[in-house]
Amino acid sequence: MKTLAEYLDNLENDTRMTLFKSTGPGGQHKNKTESAVRLQHLPTGLMVTAVESRSQSKNKKVAWERLILKLEKEFKPKTPRVPTKLPGRVREYRLKMKKKRSQLKIQRKKPDRNDQAFCVVRS
């Protein structure tokens, strides 16, 4: 896998730029000109768009900045989650409830045939 620096070196060559008509407020100028910009980074498949401005050059600038930020975010090392420890009272309460639940289950069981309390002695 390539590093971020290698991707940034060839960024312009590895990116496909598409211009399209933007929609929304901005009047006839925005509706008739292809001022919106979509950049697709071919090696990674990342895609960004910029449609905020009526100016194509401003949208290009914004799209390139977004693509670089997205690549940096993609290659940023993820920090592993550190699980938190349970407080002592919570651990004790859980164990108490487990014990209580197990006692209920034991009481619900059918009595064992071999148990002496169950056996009836006939003489």
Q: What is the pLDDT of residues 59-97, one digit of tens each?
A: 999 999 999 999 999 989 889 999 899 899 999 999 999
| pLDDT score of 113 more than 90 | no
Closest CA to 11 of 66, 57, 51: 66
- Strand duo 46-50 + 15-20: pairing: unpaired
Pick the CATH number of 4-75 from 3.30.365.10, 3.30.360.10, 3.40.50.620, 3.30.160.20: 3.30.160.20
* Cα diameter, the chain: 108
pTM (whole model) above 0.75: no
Chain centre distance of CA 114 = 56
Q: Give percent above pLDDT 70 in the chain.
A: 88
pLDDT band of 118, cuts 50, 70, 90: low
